[in-house]
Amino acid sequence: MHAHGPNGDAVHGEHGDFTLGPSKDDAGRAVLDARSAQQYWKITSLSSRIEAIERAARQMLVRRNEITQLAHDEMGKVAAEALFNEALGSLDQVKGWARVVEDATRRRQVTLNQLSFPKKRAHIDFVPRGVVGVIAPWNFPVAGLYRAVFPALMTGNGVVLKPSEYTPRCAAWFIERLADQLPEGLVRIVEGDGRVGAAIIHAGIDACVFTGSPRTGRKVALQCAERGIPASVEMGGKDAAIVLGDCDLPRTVAAITHWALSNAGQACGAIEVAYVDDHVADAFLTKMARAWVELTDESVGPLANQRQFDVVAAHVDDAVAKGARLVCGGRRLARGLWYPPTLLDRCDERMAVVTDETFGPVLAVVRVAGAAEAVSAVNRSRYGLGASIWTRDQARAERLAERLDVGIVNINNHAFSGAIPSLPWSGTRETGFGTANSSYALPTFVRTRVTTSDASGGPDVYWMPYDKALQSLGEILAQAQLAKISRVWELPLLIRRRVKAIRALFW
């Protein structure tokens, strides 16, 4: 999940330029500590690693009230939301990741063509990269770490975490629970602004996971590329709902309400724009407005910081100034960082609330003539994380899904797949090229190592000297390939005798 500010800039880690700062020594020590501990951890069995991480996750679940309170204190999450979003997932995530890692990193035996490579065998192992740097946002200060830290540790790496400066206590609580069960130094946390993230990269990590804005994400990717290390870079979203005329309207309204306002809209997978068929738009807005005005502060908490509040207010003001109709909300409340759930009608692409990531409790409604217009609009977006289609016609929805240029398509629901370790979470365009969750995310954490062995008793037939006998053998092998023959005994008898005679020259 992502945390962003004005014009898509990350709120976390964006204080000043993304350059080396005074925390270089702290980052260096953290990386050295993690690397030292990783030398033992990488030779620990996978089952033992999983058991240790699972013990930590159980403690997180037992002590769930602590993180629920910390999430409320640091970013204003309401109690039930903090419980569901931050506290309840640790053990399920460990078990889900264990299944993914056990299957995806199992040794692979490779079948070799015994005609071309006689008496030879090969297998592929997946080995840890070393130390993984994680540069994390504030919007899901614990749950957002599962998808990077758990697989990094399970695959045998050490971890150095740079949390958002807005939620350091939540991240520290998470790291402390892990550290209680893991080798000393294997997980380290270095707090600070964006300069600390750069310091971690330059301290010699072996891979990086970044979640943030396109502007900072491109800098992270460039710095990692310059150092020759892999980077998984996730850079935001502007998820849309396509509401068709035959949708189940009550359920659609309830679902979009949840996915637009959960975490006060501060999620990369939040629904920020609804492309609604004009035939059902009035009824949709009436039901949506009725549901939203009844929501209380216990349902939708405040925004996490003043900077994000200002972005949300600016997007709403811009939309109204350009002709959007304010259906409900849209006013600055007199208390703290609460911004009311805001519904805007008759929005268009001149408005920042349609084109830029708002990251707040705001839904922009764009009326469309039909599904084709909605699909075209989604595909024009700067971002390409997810979209959802709301209709009773499953077959039609699946056909439309194939036309959407996004990473995740949801039919009659939205974004829940982000909590499933076996399903990839990724997108297109300015969302970036990073992948979280699933085996497709593991190349950030592991590399391949090939091992071959040869039981031959003499030189291979294609070894020097390069003479007519070897050239003759090459012709035989070419004929065998054209005949789709891969075993010596499948060759015609005459050719087998020729092969035997040719090999005798060398053996």
pLDDT of amino acid 5: 36
The mean-pLDDT minimum among 95-104, 358-367, 450-459 falls in 450-459
SS (H, E, C) 345-391: ECCCCCCHHHHCCCCCCEEEEEEECCHHHHHHHHHHCCEECEEEEEC
Using CA atoms, how far apart are residues 489 and 495, in angstroms rounded to an integer? 10
pLDDT of amino acid 13: 34
pLDDT of amino acid 491: 64
Tell me how many helices (H) and strands (E) the chain has: 17, 19
Answer yes or no: 54 catalytic: no
- Mean pLDDT, to the nearest integer, of 350-379? 98
pLDDT of amino acid 2: 38
Yes or no: say if 129 and 446 are a contact pair by the CB < 8 Å rule.
Answer: yes
Residue 489 pLDDT more than 70? Answer: no
Answer yes or no: 268 catalytic: yes
Yes or no: say if 35 and 158 are a contact pair by the CB < 8 Å rule.
Answer: yes
Residues of the chain with CATH 3.40.605.10: 6-235
pLDDT of amino acid 488: 62
Q: Rank 30-34, 113-117, 497-501 by mean pLDDT and report only the highest.
A: 30-34
Would you place residue 392 in the very low, low, confident or very high pLDDT band (cuts 50, 70, 90)? very high
- Mean pLDDT, to the nearest integer, of 189-195? 92
pLDDT of amino acid 495: 59
75-113 confidence digits (pLDDT tens): 999 999 999 999 999 999 999 999 999 999 999 999 998
Residue 130 pLDDT more than 60? Answer: yes
Residue of 81, 165, 234, 357 with catalytic role = 234
- Mean pLDDT, to the nearest integer, of 333-346? 91
Question: Residue 413 burial by CB count (10 A; 0-12/13-18/19+): exposed, middle or buried?
Answer: middle
Residue 315 pLDDT more than 70? Answer: yes
Predicted TM-score (pTM) of this structure: 0.91
- Arithmetic mean of pLDDT over the chain: 91
Residue 199 pLDDT more than 80? Answer: yes
Would you place residue 487 in the very low, low, confident or very high pLDDT band (cuts 50, 70, 90)? low
Residue of 224, 268, 328, 347 with catalytic role = 268
Using CA atoms, how far apart are residues 342 and 311, in angstroms rounded to an integer? 14
Percent of the chain with pLDDT over 70: 91
10-52 confidence digits (pLDDT tens): 333 333 333 344 456 899 999 999 999 999 999 999 999 999 9
pLDDT of amino acid 9: 35
Spatial neighbors of 185 by CB under 8 A, at least 6 apart, are 33, 34, 36, 37, 158
240-297 confidence digits (pLDDT tens): 999 999 999 999 999 999 999 999 999 999 999 999 999 999 999 999 999 999 887 7
Residue 360 pLDDT more than 70? Answer: yes
Percent of the chain with pLDDT over 90: 80
pLDDT of amino acid 99: 98
- Mean pLDDT, to the nearest integer, of 134-145? 97
pLDDT of amino acid 1: 37
pLDDT of amino acid 493: 56
pLDDT of amino acid 486: 66
pLDDT of amino acid 471: 86
Using CA atoms, how far apart are residues 507 and 494, in angstroms rounded to an integer? 20
Residue 384 pLDDT more than 90? Answer: yes
Using CA atoms, how far apart are residues 464 and 238, in angstroms rounded to an integer? 61
Listed residue (188, 202, 375) closest to 275, CA to CA: 375
Residue 460 pLDDT more than 90? Answer: no
Residue 149 pLDDT more than 90? Answer: yes
The mean-pLDDT minimum among 44-53, 141-150, 467-476 falls in 467-476
Is residue 15 helix, strand or coil? coil
Using CA atoms, how far apart are residues 323 and 226, in angstroms rounded to an integer? 46
Yes or no: say if 438 and 421 are a contact pair by the CB < 8 Å rule.
Answer: yes
Listed residue (104, 127, 146) closest to 41, CA to CA: 127
CATH code of the domain occupying 239-422: 3.40.309.10
pLDDT of amino acid 501: 55
Residues of the chain with CATH 3.40.309.10: 239-422
409-437 confidence digits (pLDDT tens): 999 999 999 999 999 999 999 999 899 99
In CATH, the architecture of 6-235 is 3-Layer(aba) Sandwich (3.40)
DSSP 10: B
